Amino acid sequence: MDVADAAGWAYNTTSPSKIFRWQGGAAAPAGPHVAPPVVPHIAGEAFRLTEWYTVPKGATVFPSLYESSFQGFQDPEAFDPDRFFSEARREDVSCKRNFLAFGSSAHQCVGQRYALNHLVLFMALFVSLVDFRRDKTKGCDELVYIPTIAPKDGCAVFLKQRCTKLPSF
Protein backbone atom coordinates (compact mmCIF):
# COMPACT_ATOMS: atom_id res chain seq x y z
CA MET A 1 0.00 0.00 0.00
CA ASP A 2 1.25 3.45 -0.84
CA VAL A 3 -0.01 6.97 -1.49
CA ALA A 4 -0.69 6.20 -5.16
CA ASP A 5 -2.99 3.32 -4.15
CA ALA A 6 -4.88 5.54 -1.72
CA ALA A 7 -5.80 8.00 -4.48
CA GLY A 8 -8.34 5.48 -5.82
CA TRP A 9 -9.98 4.73 -2.48
CA ALA A 10 -12.82 7.24 -2.70
CA TYR A 11 -14.93 5.91 0.18
CA ASN A 12 -11.95 5.06 2.32
CA THR A 13 -10.59 8.59 2.04
CA THR A 14 -13.92 10.40 2.50
CA SER A 15 -15.41 8.30 5.30
CA PRO A 16 -13.02 9.70 7.94
CA SER A 17 -14.01 13.25 6.95
CA LYS A 18 -17.64 12.31 7.35
CA ILE A 19 -16.95 10.72 10.73
CA PHE A 20 -15.09 13.78 11.99
CA ARG A 21 -17.73 16.13 10.56
CA TRP A 22 -20.45 14.37 12.50
CA GLN A 23 -18.62 13.40 15.67
CA GLY A 24 -15.76 15.82 16.01
CA GLY A 25 -12.12 15.05 16.67
CA ALA A 26 -10.11 14.81 19.87
CA ALA A 27 -11.47 18.16 20.98
CA ALA A 28 -14.95 16.63 21.23
CA PRO A 29 -14.44 13.47 23.31
CA ALA A 30 -18.00 13.38 24.57
CA GLY A 31 -19.56 12.82 21.17
CA PRO A 32 -21.42 14.90 18.66
CA HIS A 33 -23.90 16.53 21.01
CA VAL A 34 -21.21 18.15 23.14
CA ALA A 35 -19.40 20.97 21.41
CA PRO A 36 -15.63 20.94 21.65
CA PRO A 37 -14.09 23.81 23.56
CA VAL A 38 -13.96 26.95 21.48
CA VAL A 39 -12.73 30.47 22.03
CA PRO A 40 -15.58 32.82 22.92
CA HIS A 41 -15.91 35.91 20.78
CA ILE A 42 -17.20 39.40 21.56
CA ALA A 43 -19.54 40.73 18.89
CA GLY A 44 -17.87 43.84 17.46
CA GLU A 45 -21.18 44.94 15.98
CA ALA A 46 -24.75 43.67 16.06
CA PHE A 47 -25.38 40.89 13.54
CA ARG A 48 -28.39 38.91 12.50
CA LEU A 49 -28.01 35.27 13.54
CA THR A 50 -31.44 34.00 12.49
CA GLU A 51 -34.62 35.52 11.12
CA TRP A 52 -35.83 36.15 14.66
CA TYR A 53 -32.64 36.95 16.60
CA THR A 54 -29.94 39.60 16.29
CA VAL A 55 -26.83 39.28 18.44
CA PRO A 56 -26.26 42.64 20.12
CA LYS A 57 -22.93 44.47 19.92
CA GLY A 58 -20.70 43.51 22.86
CA ALA A 59 -22.39 40.14 23.49
CA THR A 60 -20.18 37.15 24.27
CA VAL A 61 -20.71 34.47 21.63
CA PHE A 62 -19.72 30.81 22.06
CA PRO A 63 -19.71 29.22 18.59
CA SER A 64 -21.18 25.71 18.35
CA LEU A 65 -18.92 23.48 16.29
CA TYR A 66 -21.52 20.73 16.50
CA GLU A 67 -24.29 22.82 14.97
CA SER A 68 -22.04 24.33 12.31
CA SER A 69 -21.15 20.87 11.03
CA PHE A 70 -24.77 20.40 9.94
CA GLN A 71 -25.30 23.74 8.22
CA GLY A 72 -25.32 23.80 4.43
CA PHE A 73 -24.90 20.03 3.96
CA GLN A 74 -27.59 18.09 2.08
CA ASP A 75 -29.27 15.63 4.49
CA PRO A 76 -26.65 16.47 7.15
CA GLU A 77 -27.41 13.63 9.58
CA ALA A 78 -27.03 10.87 6.96
CA PHE A 79 -23.77 8.93 6.68
CA ASP A 80 -23.00 9.94 3.11
CA PRO A 81 -19.31 10.03 2.13
CA ASP A 82 -20.37 10.85 -1.46
CA ARG A 83 -20.86 14.44 -0.29
CA PHE A 84 -17.06 14.84 -0.20
CA PHE A 85 -16.13 13.54 -3.66
CA SER A 86 -19.20 13.71 -5.89
CA GLU A 87 -18.35 16.12 -8.70
CA ALA A 88 -22.00 17.16 -8.83
CA ARG A 89 -22.19 18.03 -5.11
CA ARG A 90 -18.69 18.93 -3.89
CA GLU A 91 -19.96 19.73 -0.38
CA ASP A 92 -16.33 19.55 0.79
CA VAL A 93 -15.85 22.81 -1.13
CA SER A 94 -19.24 24.52 -0.82
CA CYS A 95 -19.51 23.80 2.93
CA LYS A 96 -15.81 24.04 3.78
CA ARG A 97 -16.36 26.85 6.27
CA ASN A 98 -18.74 24.59 8.22
CA PHE A 99 -16.32 21.64 8.44
CA LEU A 100 -14.72 22.64 11.73
CA ALA A 101 -13.69 19.30 13.22
CA PHE A 102 -10.07 20.47 13.06
CA GLY A 103 -10.62 24.19 13.48
CA SER A 104 -10.03 26.70 10.72
CA SER A 105 -7.58 29.26 9.36
CA ALA A 106 -4.84 30.18 11.85
CA HIS A 107 -6.40 27.91 14.47
CA GLN A 108 -6.44 24.77 12.32
CA CYS A 109 -5.11 21.61 14.00
CA VAL A 110 -1.61 20.72 12.81
CA GLY A 111 -2.50 17.02 13.14
CA GLN A 112 -5.44 17.09 10.71
CA ARG A 113 -3.67 15.36 7.81
CA TYR A 114 -2.10 12.85 10.18
CA ALA A 115 -5.45 11.98 11.78
CA LEU A 116 -7.24 11.59 8.44
CA ASN A 117 -4.40 9.61 6.86
CA HIS A 118 -4.14 7.38 9.93
CA LEU A 119 -7.85 6.53 9.70
CA VAL A 120 -7.63 5.86 5.96
CA LEU A 121 -4.73 3.47 6.46
CA PHE A 122 -6.37 1.76 9.43
CA MET A 123 -9.61 1.23 7.52
CA ALA A 124 -7.76 -0.14 4.47
CA LEU A 125 -5.77 -2.60 6.58
CA PHE A 126 -8.78 -3.62 8.66
CA VAL A 127 -11.03 -4.47 5.72
CA SER A 128 -8.13 -6.22 3.96
CA LEU A 129 -7.06 -8.43 6.86
CA VAL A 130 -10.22 -9.08 8.86
CA ASP A 131 -13.66 -10.51 8.16
CA PHE A 132 -16.14 -8.78 10.41
CA ARG A 133 -19.83 -9.08 11.11
CA ARG A 134 -22.23 -7.17 13.30
CA ASP A 135 -25.60 -8.76 13.90
CA LYS A 136 -28.71 -6.62 14.19
CA THR A 137 -29.81 -6.69 17.84
CA LYS A 138 -32.23 -4.73 20.00
CA GLY A 139 -30.70 -1.32 20.62
CA CYS A 140 -27.99 -1.56 17.96
CA ASP A 141 -29.26 1.55 16.17
CA GLU A 142 -29.74 3.61 19.35
CA LEU A 143 -26.87 5.65 20.78
CA VAL A 144 -25.89 6.14 24.40
CA TYR A 145 -23.76 9.09 25.44
CA ILE A 146 -21.02 7.94 27.77
CA PRO A 147 -17.53 9.48 27.50
CA THR A 148 -17.89 8.72 23.77
CA ILE A 149 -20.95 7.71 21.78
CA ALA A 150 -21.67 4.01 21.56
CA PRO A 151 -24.49 1.76 20.39
CA LYS A 152 -26.93 0.89 23.16
CA ASP A 153 -26.36 -2.87 22.64
CA GLY A 154 -22.62 -2.59 23.42
CA CYS A 155 -21.58 -3.04 19.76
CA ALA A 156 -20.87 -6.76 19.64
CA VAL A 157 -18.75 -7.36 16.53
CA PHE A 158 -17.49 -10.74 15.40
CA LEU A 159 -13.97 -10.71 13.93
CA LYS A 160 -12.05 -13.40 12.07
CA GLN A 161 -8.51 -13.06 10.75
CA ARG A 162 -8.42 -13.61 6.95
CA CYS A 163 -4.81 -14.69 6.62
CA THR A 164 -2.63 -17.01 8.69
CA LYS A 165 0.17 -14.46 9.04
CA LEU A 166 -0.34 -10.72 9.38
CA PRO A 167 1.93 -8.46 7.33
CA SER A 168 4.90 -6.87 9.05
CA PHE A 169 5.55 -3.21 8.38
Distances (CA, A) of 61 to 45, 88, 101, 105, 131: 12, 35, 19, 19, 47
Domain ranges of the chain: 1-24+115-168, 40-106
Assign 8 a pLDDT band (cuts: 50, 70, 90): low
Distance of alpha carbon 92 from alpha carbon 94, whole angstroms: 6
147 pLDDT exceeds 70? no
Q: Which of 20-24, 77-81, 100-104, 155-159 has the lowest mean pLDDT?
A: 20-24
Is there a contact between 108 and 102 (Cβ–Cβ < 8 Å)?
A: yes
Express each pLDDT in 47-97 by its tens digit.
Answer: 888 789 999 999 998 776 666 677 788 888 787 878 877 778 878 777 777
Mean predicted confidence (pLDDT) in 148-169: 82
DSSP 124-142: HHHHHHEEEE----TTTT-
The number of helices, as runs of H, and strands, as runs of E, in the chain is 5, 8
**CA of residue 27 relative to chain centroid, distance:** 12
Q: What's the predicted TM-score (pTM) here?
A: 0.54
DSSP 25: -
Mean predicted confidence (pLDDT) in 106-120: 79
Distance of alpha carbon 20 from alpha carbon 43, whole angstroms: 28
Instruction: Please report the pLDDT score of residue 100 as a whole number.
Output: 66
159 pLDDT exceeds 80? yes
- Per the model's pLDDT, the better-predicted residue between 62 and 127 turns out to be 127
Mean predicted confidence (pLDDT) in 97-126: 77
